[in-house]
Amino acid sequence: MVEPLEKLAEVLREVGVGLPTPGMNPGATSEMGGGITESTSSRDVILHMDNLQAMASLPDASIDFIYLDPPFASDATYWHEIHLPGHTIRQLAYSDSWPDGLGSYLAFLVPRLAATRRILKPTGSICVHLDSHSSHYVKIALDTIFGAENLINEVIWRYGKMSNTKRRFPQNHDTLLLYGATPDWYFSPIHNAPSEYRTRFLRDLTDNRVLYGSVKHRSDKLITRRIAAKSRDLGRELRDDDVLWDFDTERKVQDDVFTDISIVRGNAREGTGYDTQKPQKLLERLITAFCPEGGAVADFFCGSGTTGAAASTLGRPFVLTDINLPAIQVSRLRLPQAAFDRDPALTPPSFLVDTTGAISDFRLDDLGLGAKDKAVVAQLLVSDPQSLIAGHIGETVIDVFGREATRPR
């Protein structure tokens, strides 16, 4: 047995002791400090804390859909960068290096995966977003925690990144593992892409439809089969104006390979400068499929807050957590805007709960900056960056954290 598997077996044994059934809380209480309180539980909320602590403070069976995009064990460092004319402000977002490799990564992640089970509603589900660094080990963990029979999907997201590799095929997908809390998970099918047949009939289309008259002489099997089925349905011979395909209504059911959503590129409108930011469209697709209208969404590794932006756009309440301040800053700046997009009359719905449970603004003091840097960062991050840059910093790159670090290749 290779070392990570031994570690995984050990961690699973530990978390397996008293693994609660979905929706049942054997011991966790909101006295664990911080987190959700009665006054915050029905609102959108951003928690700046370790997600184990955040989850412990959530009520049983309170969440419909959990999306987790944890570190992938990629052995890299990730940054948040704000690019302004002539200036870049850069802060360390998070590190994804593990002292003992996969073993210590799994020892970190698996208890967090196990902790999600209690807070999911029986109809709830979880999506864990990974890549080939760890997805196979994590699948074993999820099979154990949720039951292999509750695996809903293994979604392949092909993100369309260009890369130049000489010794292997370019890596171009992530893996999303979806599990139901119980076999009664909620799911609403998505009819997404236009029917794949449409392109075959482009030159035959009349008002986005294919009429019997325009294709009746073809020997194409697809057409002859459709003619036979239609004729059977109508109980008569077809006439020239009978519709064989109507592409306004005929759409393709989304399958488990997503190829139409691209990675967030540097110049994308939704780009926040947070490395590893996921596209909002991806989250919107998942939430639409797995979270009923009005249901609650949670993301305990929220990064730049994509899940909150998607949930907000779709009118679902959300809980976001991240342990690192840059993620909280970016999410906080982004979310009022997302809510605003939905309804300009709304006041910003999100707020921050710090590690003591107090509801506050984010605490710039936690950054450990000198007074000058602090003033600059406060202005750049909290206010309109474009209008405040002039006169505050020169041509230098300010690394708020990790001054000695260099950007990983």
Ligand X SMILES: C[S@@+](CC[C@H](N)C(=O)[O-])C[C@H]1O[C@@H](n2cnc3c(N)ncnc32)[C@H](O)[C@@H]1O
Positions that interact with ligand X (CB under 6 A): 50-51, 69-71, 93-94, 274, 276-278, 300-301, 303-304, 306, 321-324, 327
Min CB(7)–ligand X separation in Å: 18
- Residues 361, 363: Cα–Cα separation, whole Å: 6
Min CB(232)–ligand X separation in Å: 49
Q: Are 256 and 153 in contact (CB under 8 A)?
A: yes
Q: Which is nearer to ligand X, 133 or 216 (CB)?
A: 133
Q: Which is nearer to ligand X, 223 or 286 (CB)?
A: 286
Min CB(301)–ligand X separation in Å: 3
Q: Which is nearer to ligand X, 51 or 150 (CB)?
A: 51
Min CB(324)–ligand X separation in Å: 4
Q: Which is nearer to ligand X, 176 or 327 (CB)?
A: 327
Min CB(361)–ligand X separation in Å: 19
Which residue is it, tokens 């190829």? 259
Min CB(302)–ligand X separation in Å: 6
Q: Which is nearer to ligand X, 181 or 302 (CB)?
A: 302
Q: Are 169 and 207 in contact (CB under 8 A)?
A: no
Per DSSP, the residues of 326-385 read HHHHHHHHHHHHHHHHH-TTSPP---EE-TTS-EES--GGGG---HHHHHHHHHHHHS-H
- Residues 277, 310: Cα–Cα separation, whole Å: 13
Q: Are 231 and 237 in contact (CB under 8 A)?
A: yes
- For 83, other C-beta atoms within 10 Å of its C-beta total 14
Q: Which is nearer to ligand X, 214 or 324 (CB)?
A: 324
Helices (H), 40-165: 51-56, 102-119, 135-146
- Residues 32, 118: Cα–Cα separation, whole Å: 16
Residue nearest to ligand X as judged by C-beta position: 303
Q: Residue 194 has which token pair?
A: 């236009």
